[in-house]
Amino acid sequence: MSIGASLKRLEDYNLVTGRGQYVGDLQFPDQCEAVIIRSPHAHAIIRSIDAEEARGLDGVLLILTASDLPDDLRPIPMRLSPDPILEKALQYPLAKDRVRYVGDPVAVIVAKNRYVAEDAADFIHIEYEVLPPVTDAVQSLEPGAPILHPDAGTNEMYLIHGRKGEAAERLKTCEHVLEEELYVQRHSGIPMETRGLLALCDEDERLTVYGAAKVVHFNHQLMARLLNKNIDEIRLVETDCGGGFGPRGEFYPEDYLIPFAAIQLKRPVRWIEDRLEHFKATNHSREQKHRVTVGFDGDGRIYALRDEIFFDQGGYIRTHGTTVPSLTQAMFPGPYDFSDIEIVTHLVLTNKTPVGTYRGPGRFEGTFVRERVIDMVAAHLKLDPTIVRERNYIRPEQMPYSNGLSALGQVIEYDSGDYAETLDRARKFMGWEQFAGKQSRARQEGRFIGLGFASFVEKSGFGPWEFAEVEMRPDGRVICKTGLTEVGQGITTTLAQICSDQLGIPYSDVSVVHGDTALVEKGNGSFATRGAVVGGSAAWHAAGLLKEKLLKVAAEQLKVPVDMLALKDGGVVYAEAGQAAMPLEELLTICSDLGISLCEKYTFHIEHMTYPYGCHAAEVELDPDTGALQILKYYIAYDLGKAINPMLVEGQLIGGMAQGLGGAMYENLKYDEIGQLVSGSFMDYLIPTSMEVPEVTTEILENYPSPLNPLGVKGAGEGGTVAVAPAIANAIVNALQEYAIPFTSLPLRPERIREALKQMKPER
Partner 1 sequence: MTEKTAESSRLKTITLKVNQKEYTVDVEPRMLLSDVLRDELRLTGTHVGCEHGVCGACTIMMDGRPVRSCLVFGVQADQADIVTVEGLESQDGELHPLQNGFWEKHGLQCGFCTPGMLMTACHLLEHNPDPSREEIREAISGNLCRCTGYQGIVDAVEYAAKEMRERAE
User: Near partner 1 by CB under 8 A, which window of 7-15, 430-438, 453-461, 508-516?
Assistant: 7-15
- Binding to partner 1 in span 245-264, by CB under 8 A: 245
User: Contact 653/715 with Cβ under 8 angstroms?
Assistant: no
φ/ψ (deg, to 5) at 730: -65, -35
Q: Which of 27, 48, 434, 759 binds partner 1 (CB under 8 A)?
A: 27
Q: How far is CA 160 from CA 239, 323, 569, in A?
A: 38, 11, 54
User: Near partner 1 by CB under 8 A, which window of 15-23, 401-409, 431-439, 576-584?
Assistant: 15-23
| Choice between 375 and 650, CB closer to partner 1 | 650
Q: How far is the CB of 60 from partner 1 (least distance, A)?
A: 11
Q: How far apart are CA 764 and CA 759, in angstroms?
A: 15
Q: Which of 334, 463, 488, 612 binds partner 1 (CB under 8 A)?
A: 488
User: Contact 91/21 with Cβ under 8 angstroms?
Assistant: no
Total of residues contacting partner 1 (CB under 8 A): 65
Q: How far is the CB of 317 from partner 1 (least distance, A)?
A: 27
| Choice between 35 and 555, CB closer to partner 1 | 35
Q: Does residue 274 belong to the site contacting partner 1 (CB under 8 A)? A: yes
User: Near partner 1 by CB under 8 A, which window of 136-144, 373-381, 657-665, 748-756?
Assistant: 657-665
Q: How far is CA 633 from CA 368, 430, 451, 663, 743, in A?
A: 19, 8, 9, 18, 20
Q: Does residue 119 belong to the site contacting partner 1 (CB under 8 A)? A: yes
Q: Does residue 490 belong to the site contacting partner 1 (CB under 8 A)? A: yes
Q: Which of 487, 528, 581, 664 binds partner 1 (CB under 8 A)?
A: 487
Residue 77 carries which DSSP code? P
Q: How far is the CB of 498 from partner 1 (least distance, A)?
A: 19
- Binding to partner 1 in span 616-655, by CB under 8 A: 647-648, 650-651, 654-655
Q: How far is CA 522 from CA 461, 468, 485, 516, 600, in A?
A: 17, 9, 12, 9, 14
| Choice between 357 and 489, CB closer to partner 1 | 489
| Choice between 710 and 750, CB closer to partner 1 | 750
Q: Does residue 682 belong to the site contacting partner 1 (CB under 8 A)? A: yes
Q: Which of 48, 434, 579, 689 binds partner 1 (CB under 8 A)?
A: 689
C-alpha radius of gyration, the chain, whole number:
27
Q: How far is CA 566 from CA 15, 501, 510, 580, 594, in A?
A: 36, 11, 19, 10, 21
Q: How far is the CB of 662 from partner 1 (least distance, A)?
A: 9
Q: How far is the CB of 570 from partner 1 (least distance, A)?
A: 24
Q: How far apart are CA 689 and CA 664, in angstroms?
A: 14
Q: Which of 89, 134, 394, 696 binds partner 1 (CB under 8 A)?
A: 696
Q: How far is the CB of 694 from partner 1 (least distance, A)?
A: 9
Say whether 584 sits in a helix, a strand or coil. Answer: helix
Q: How far is the CB of 682 from partner 1 (least distance, A)?
A: 4
> First and final CA of the chain: distance in angstroms?
61
Q: How far apart are CA 527 and CA 525, in angstroms?
A: 6
Q: How far is the CB of 519 from partner 1 (least distance, A)?
A: 22
User: Among 525, 521, 545, which Cα is nearest to 534's?
Assistant: 525
The residues pairing with 410 across neighbouring beta strands, listed in sequence order, are: 407
Q: Which of 64, 76, 215, 241 binds partner 1 (CB under 8 A)?
A: 241
Q: Which of 103, 243, 361, 461 binds partner 1 (CB under 8 A)?
A: 243
Q: How far is the CB of 224 from partner 1 (least distance, A)?
A: 28
Q: How far is the CB of 659 from partner 1 (least distance, A)?
A: 7
- Binding to partner 1 in span 211-240, by CB under 8 A: 240
Q: How far is the CB of 563 from partner 1 (least distance, A)?
A: 38
* Sequence-ordered strand ranges (E) for 89-166: 98-99, 105-111, 125-130, 156-164
| Choice between 497 and 502, CB closer to partner 1 | 497
Q: How far apart are CA 501 and CA 544, in angstroms?
A: 10
Q: Which of 105, 191, 463, 627 binds partner 1 (CB under 8 A)?
A: 191
Q: How far apart are CA 334 and CA 315, in angstroms?
A: 30
- CB-based contacts of 325, cutoff 8 Å, min separation 6: 158, 160, 288, 309, 311, 345, 347, 362
Q: Which of 4, 5, 9, 221 binds partner 1 (CB under 8 A)?
A: 9
Q: Which of 162, 242, 571, 612 binds partner 1 (CB under 8 A)?
A: 242
- Binding to partner 1 in span 58-77, by CB under 8 A: 58-59
| Choice between 21 and 597, CB closer to partner 1 | 21
Q: Which of 12, 127, 202, 205 binds partner 1 (CB under 8 A)?
A: 12
User: Near partner 1 by CB under 8 A, which window of 342-350, 547-555, 678-686, 754-762?
Assistant: 678-686
- Binding to partner 1 in span 706-735, by CB under 8 A: 720
Q: Does residue 194 belong to the site contacting partner 1 (CB under 8 A)? A: yes
Strand-strand pairing, 269-272 and 234-238:
unpaired
Q: How far is the CB of 59 from partner 1 (least distance, A)?
A: 8
| Choice between 193 and 312, CB closer to partner 1 | 193
User: Among 456, 700, 454, 648, which Cα is nearest to 5's?
Assistant: 648
Q: Does residue 55 belong to the site contacting partner 1 (CB under 8 A)? A: no
Q: Cis link prior to 40 (omega < 30° from 0)?
A: no
- CB-based contacts of 740, cutoff 8 Å, min separation 6: 760, 763
User: Contact 125/53 with Cβ under 8 angstroms?
Assistant: yes
Q: Which of 34, 157, 347, 658 binds partner 1 (CB under 8 A)?
A: 658
Q: Cis link prior to 747 (omega < 30° from 0)?
A: yes
Q: Does residue 5 belong to the site contacting partner 1 (CB under 8 A)? A: no
**DSSP secondary structure string, 211-254?**
EE-SSHHHHHHHHHHHHT--GGGEEEEE-B-S--TTTTTS--HH
Instruction: Return the number of other C-beta atoms located less than 10 Å from residue 159's C-beta.
Output: 12
Residue 114 carries which DSSP code? H
User: Near partner 1 by CB under 8 A, which window of 103-111, 323-331, 384-392, 656-664?
Assistant: 656-664
| Choice between 14 and 228, CB closer to partner 1 | 14
Sheet holding 629-639, edge to edge: 448-457, 613-622, 629-639, 696-701
Q: Which of 104, 136, 193, 250 binds partner 1 (CB under 8 A)?
A: 193
Q: Does residue 356 belong to the site contacting partner 1 (CB under 8 A)? A: no
- CB-based contacts of 509, cutoff 8 Å, min separation 6: 476, 477, 478, 500
Provide the sign of the torsion angle of the four alpha carbons 241, 244, 250, 253, taken in this order. negative
User: Among 365, 298, 292, 291, which Cα is nearest to 334's?
Assistant: 365
Q: Does residue 29 belong to the site contacting partner 1 (CB under 8 A)? A: no
| Choice between 449 and 487, CB closer to partner 1 | 487
Q: Which of 61, 63, 124, 190 binds partner 1 (CB under 8 A)?
A: 190
Q: How far apart are CA 262 and CA 253, in angstroms?
A: 15
> Where along the sequence are the contacts to partner 1 (CB under 8 A)?
8-9, 11-22, 24-25, 27, 56-59, 113, 115, 119, 122, 189-194, 240-245, 274-276, 487-490, 647-648, 650-651, 654-659, 681-683, 687, 689-691, 693, 695-696, 720
